[in-house]
Structure 1
């Protein structure tokens, strides 16, 4: 290792640890379900994005195995050569039907999806209005596009309209796009979709909704856009296949022309090997289950509402979450780190969320109650929260 690199790393790591921004990575010994094993000890898992419990669902496992047996463990090539298998076509048709759009494109990850889709449509002659709390993958996708990035205050419709008007009337840009998360991953609030669409139609904005945390949660599982009945108006419906869907990958759903363009211009699609057949088969099964059995989504919401009420009852600040995402907001980064450590020691697995994932001074732990949790598990978690919170003087 060169001396300059070693100095950079030593100083950088020490700085992160000093500020309480260094995160340790634990290894889960087994599957990522409602109960996990870490360092030989069982913990109630409130840290995963496995909203519907699909990551360990036996029907999805069977579907993945059957697809693997039929098609192999890998697709063998990028999609544009001969890596588009029949199961990829089936997957994209399934996503489009579920989302209420003409077509869909599947990517290898949600991050790849935002990197590839935004930069395939926007360029240096364009402008992107971006909510200030958008996910890191949106931020990086915007940067890659080289478009002018205009930050919009979080869910502030007055600010959005002012900046949309200014960008459009300036005459400086060929195209103007507004990008927002459908559900914001750290606070759990929902984008104001009806108001957004009114402004978009007034100023002829393209609208791009990242529904990573809305897919499988809102709109009967079909997401935030479907929740508000806007499937025929939003230009880009993006989401992941790795959170509520329980597998891996990402997608964009929209018009046939948009998907045709992305399949010819989106670099992660063009230069990365396709999703594995097993992943595609499992996602198809996940969508089948959501379409035919509403109890998965209903159980998720029942557990989430119960848990949030109990945390508030004992005195915690959970912010303004409108979804199962349940932050416990503490403020201080080091306090968040120590609080998480104590909860884990007491059998409740939650991780601290600190800068740069959230703004400085808003450190927290984030809970993700799922359909796989029992009321007994949630009650035990609340008891631990009460015990640790009182010991640390937080409540």
Structure 2
């Protein structure tokens, strides 16, 4: 069979060679032809023949049981989870008491800088009494979303309290702090809309941007020149800017850096390029400004110039849940279009009651803000000369963020160093601090670091002890 194929191939090659060697300009039926034309005509005939043939379909033959068993034995399913490594098996410290400035962790008392209890309201007697009263009256939960018999009068009181405190027309409560921002963004931003966001926003904001399906452009972290360039580029590319909703999304105090957004400059650019602002104030509400009303008060910006403000209440107010505030139309739209509001069981009434009591306490005791700022300044100064680390946060941020002066070049190696520092500080000096942890879903490009959450309830000796411990351990680990 093989020799026959070789003979046929040789014959075809000989024929083609003769065709090319045929006399040029030979005349057949009065038409002048040459070898090239013969070959081209034959190729066209072969192509037409192949195109007109019916496609070949191999006969369907069922697999035998043996073949099925062999295929099943060879098949290896993709794992549902990645391979568990040693880093993934680390157990976080277990808190065994209230998360106050001093807490019980793994059976021993520690100095707590890992809880964002900014105003020191955990354990406050007035707030505790309000929770007890709400529990006796309403029970633990509402057992239903706000739109389905989950609205309780204390929810409405809390919404009015927040709106009145901030000077906005209306506000709306959410059951879970982190779900607030990633429910609000998709409620207002849809496919085809444009969002310009800071590259340093935390994961909840990133998730909201993803769920919105909008066109997202990122500007350099807290860089107003980069923001203006991005707004200019986006505006220039828009064919019908008047028909597209456009937003700037930023945090007041960035969870991933401790930096404060320059709101006055952002508002100026917003008005110049006709964008709207979505501002997350989870780490600034109750902290910034003369009376704790947030970044707008701190920067002297009229509150009505901020289109949408969101915040989690699990930090300064020492409760849980979140809120969004703005115009009546902004709030009403969320009651029908925000997934976190429509589909989640409403905030437990005792937590709403605690939020009201916390805002009341802040209004009645404005000096608590002076205590907090004094503590921030003290810790900031004490940490200014830590070996191998540098303070990257703003002087007014209660989230004091330290990053490595010189990265190893690997996020994994950097993380290992920072976690080893935090672990030794806890084990050797009973000081609880937090090393940045990011999931594989978190796309923030900012460097990781150590975070100290400063509270107004920390004493000066607490701050000095924490700083001294970190300096000692950092010198040993990073030397």
1:37, distance to aligned residue in structure 2 (A):
1.3
1:118, distance to aligned residue in structure 2 (A):
0.8
Moved more, 156-165 or 337-346: 156-165
Matched, 1:391 2:464: no
Selected match of 1:206 from 276, 295, 319 = 276
1:10, distance to aligned residue in structure 2 (A):
5.2
Matched, 1:329 2:403: yes
1:382, distance to aligned residue in structure 2 (A):
2.1
Selected match of 1:77 from 118, 127, 144 = 144
**Equivalent in the alignment of 1:344:** 426
1:135, distance to aligned residue in structure 2 (A):
1.5
Q: Secondary structure at the match of 2:111?
A: strand
Tell me the TM-score normalized by structure 2.
0.77
Q: Secondary structure at the match of 1:124?
A: coil
Contact 2:101–2:113, Cα closer than 8 Å, also in 1 = yes
Distance of aligned partners of 1:122 and 1:22 in 2 relative to their CA distance in 1, 3 Å threshold = farther
**Equivalent in the alignment of 2:126:** 59
**Equivalent in the alignment of 1:370:** 455
Distance of aligned partners of 1:340 and 1:314 in 2 relative to their CA distance in 1, 3 Å threshold = closer
Selected match of 1:29 from 93, 96, 108 = 96
1:117, distance to aligned residue in structure 2 (A):
1.0
CA distance in 2, matches of 1:4, 1:63: 54
CA distance in 1, matches of 2:91, 2:400: 22
Matched, 1:272 2:344: yes
**Equivalent in the alignment of 1:353:** 436
Q: Secondary structure at the match of 1:373?
A: coil
CA distance in 1, matches of 2:475, 2:230: 45
Selected match of 1:215 from 285, 292, 313 = 285
Cα offsets for 1:27-76 (capped at 9, x unmatched): 10111111111111111111111111112222111111112222222123
1:379, distance to aligned residue in structure 2 (A):
1.7
Q: Secondary structure at the match of 2:384?
A: helix
Root-mean-square deviation (Å) = 2.1
Contact 1:186–1:358, Cα closer than 8 Å, also in 2 = no
CA distance in 2, matches of 1:358, 1:33: 32
Distance of aligned partners of 1:222 and 1:360 in 2 relative to their CA distance in 1, 3 Å threshold = closer
**Equivalent in the alignment of 2:317:** 245
5+ residue gaps in structure 2? 1-74, 408-413
1:358, distance to aligned residue in structure 2 (A):
8.5
Moved more, 251-260 or 364-373: 364-373
Selected match of 1:318 from 374, 377, 391 = 391
Cα offsets for 1:83-122 (capped at 9, x unmatched): 1111111000001111111000110122211121111111
Q: Secondary structure at the match of 1:329?
A: strand
1:313, distance to aligned residue in structure 2 (A):
4.3
Moved more, 65-74 or 204-213: 65-74
User: Which of the pair has the greater relative contact order for Cα pairs under 8 Å at 6+ separation?
Assistant: 1
Contact 1:119–1:142, Cα closer than 8 Å, also in 2 = yes
Name the larger-Rg structure. 2
1:8, distance to aligned residue in structure 2 (A):
5.0
Contact 2:200–2:444, Cα closer than 8 Å, also in 1 = no
Q: Secondary structure at the match of 2:95?
A: coil
Q: Secondary structure at the match of 2:235?
A: helix
Matched, 1:233 2:305: yes
Aligned length: 387
**Equivalent in the alignment of 2:108:** 41
Moved more, 356-365 or 297-306: 356-365
Contact 2:259–2:392, Cα closer than 8 Å, also in 1 = no
Contact 1:354–1:360, Cα closer than 8 Å, also in 2 = no
Contact 1:129–1:179, Cα closer than 8 Å, also in 2 = yes
Moved more, 248-257 or 361-370: 361-370
CA distance in 1, matches of 2:90, 2:201: 21
Selected match of 2:162 from 92, 95, 120 = 95
CA distance in 1, matches of 2:245, 2:81: 41
Contact 2:393–2:400, Cα closer than 8 Å, also in 1 = no
Q: Secondary structure at the match of 2:383?
A: helix
1:243, distance to aligned residue in structure 2 (A):
0.6
Distance of aligned partners of 1:260 and 1:8 in 2 relative to their CA distance in 1, 3 Å threshold = closer
Cα offsets for 1:230-258 (capped at 9, x unmatched): 31100011111101111001111100111
